[in-house]
Structure 1
Amino acid sequence: MKFTLSPARLAPIKLAIALPLAAALAACGAEEGDTLEGDRIEPIEAPAGTNWSETVTVSEEDGYVLGNPEAPIKVVEYASHTCGGCANFAATGKPEIKEYVATGVVSFEQRNLVRDPIDLAIATLVRCGADQNMQVLSDEAWAFLPQIFENVNQNSAAYEAAGQLPVEQRFVQIAEAAGLIDFFAARGLSADQQRACLSDTAAIEAIAENSSQQAQEMGINSTPTFLVNGDKVDAIGWNDLEPILQRAGARQE
């Protein structure tokens, strides 16, 4: 089953609250072919006292870049926090791509493609702490995804009632219904800190607006979608993506 986003703008005020949660476990992928070719690129040393595996910057597109921000091979993943295919990549692809990131030749940027209110709540919370923790928290939330949906099913009345609340209260209640407050509290974000982030309407709207604008401008309507040096590639997982990186020059010997 393939899940695609509608072309409608996904401002949080307009996001639907009653969702067919089972559909969110479907994986989706890009459909463009790749034509990347290149000689092997030698490793690039990180600045003294640092390493690329722990270097995180925020891009102009509001994505979180792991690794050398000037890497000659730039990988971008448009991901949803309620996407089963994205969860699978986090578990199977992230550990592998980090080995390439460590060389300084490849950077990995995670951008949001928001598709539902739970997704937006998680996207807000993983950004609530230090920049360095965004991708780590995202990966842990993907691993927790089945339990998140189970929590929402068990608390469906509270989840649906959230849709009637003002935006500054809505995502707090969504997070509580999904068990996210306790989950992230166990990972260093206090409940008060989370509620402050989830009440920040401007920040939440910015995440949704960036997602919608980029999806429209770049023709991205499914998750995960991968870009390599700005081009969409035909990959939905690590087994597809690694050969593309190697042809682009990220070959380890």
Structure 2
Amino acid sequence: MRTAFLLAAMGAALALSGCGDKGANGGAGNSATPSGSPVAAVAAPAGTSWSETIAASPEGGFVMGNPNAKLKLIEYASYTCPHCKEFAEHADEPLRKYVDTGKVSYEFRNFVRDPLDITAALIARCGGKDPFFPLSHQVFGNQDAMFQKIQSVGDKGYQDAMKLPPQQRFARLAELAGLIDFAKTRGIPEAQARTCLANFKEAETLAAGNDAGVKKYGIEGTPTLILNEKKLENANTWPLLETALKAAGA
């Protein structure tokens, strides 16, 4: 998927293409489920927990957990994908428990499907690495409200926002979708949120991350899960992912 396409003006109706069906990731790439002997637990440094150990990755994601975990899980997800929202609702708490064992690390990479998705991603990433995961989870929880607000302005309001200069369009989309107020009530001052939304270079980087994911893993839909560099087929619900983690030794 080309960067230019993602940053072009799009209609207010949010198509669900690219949002995977339950239990099916699809696409090309290495789809074998990793399997192996049980992995030993690793204690976090004193006074810390692995699920609160967060780092930015070179690929532009955020990683939770033991940096030397034997099992490295990556999720490519979209904030405008209902299946991603459902996965987040069911996987967040139990996945953290696996991360806290030190056996599994978990990296979230944005796979942006449309300008509203980019807008939400800029908000979720605005506080940096430490608040990213709880804020990201809340962005998913706010998905229905975001859709309702953006759809209420109609196609003209959306298209008018997309005609603005690059440094203004995502702030306008955030206003229409209620994301400025969303950020403010979660500890991100309005001025900081608007600075993040004006960072068009970051928006381009997010869109370019799609190209990298497609090229490396053959990603076609979201959520897509990668375990130790192998794309998992039929594993994008929590029960199916947990089965894959256990088979890999978690």
* TM value normalised by structure 1: 0.90
Amino acid at match of 1:238: W
Structure 1: 5+ residue runs without aligned partners?
1-6
Aligned pairs for 1:106-121 within 5 A = 106-121=104-119
Listed one character per residue, the Cα deviations across residues 21-48 of structure 1 (whole Å, up to 9, x for unaligned) are 2637954441364332212112101122
Return the alpha-carbon distance in structure 1 between the equivalents of residues 220 and 246 of structure 2.
26
Corresponding residue SS for 1:132: coil
Distance in structure 2 (CA, Å) of the matches to 1:112 and 1:17 = 19
Counterpart residue number, 2:57 = 59
2:224: which partner in 1?
Answer: 225
Give yes or no for contact 1:168–1:201 (8 Å, CA) kept in 2: yes
Unaligned residue ranges in structure 2 (runs of 5+): none
Q: Which residue matches 1:3? A: none
% identity of equivalent residues: 38
Pick which of 118-127 and 149-158 moved more: 149-158
1:239 and 2:239 correspond: yes
> Which of 148, 151, 164 in structure 2 is aligned with 1:150?
148
Residue 19 of structure 1 and its aligned partner are, at CA, apart by 3.8
Equivalences, count: 243
Supply the RMSD in Å over aligned alpha carbons.
Answer: 1.8
Per mean C-alpha deviation after superposition, the further-off stretch among 27-36 and 76-85 is 27-36
Compare relative contact order (CA 8 Å, sep 6+) and give the higher one, 1 or 2: 2
| 1:19-58 alignment, distance < 5 Å | 19-21=12-14, 23=16, 27-28=20-21, 29-31=24-26, 33-58=31-56
The 2-side partners of 1:58 and 1:139 are apart by: 17
TM-score by length of structure 2 reads: 0.91
Contact 1:53 1:101 in 2 (8 A): yes
Shift of 1:217: 3.2
Tell me the secondary structure at the aligned position of residue 130 of structure 1. coil
Cα displacement (A) at 1:183: 0.8
Q: Is the Cα–Cα contact under 8 Å of residues 6 and 113 in structure 2 kept in the other structure?
A: no
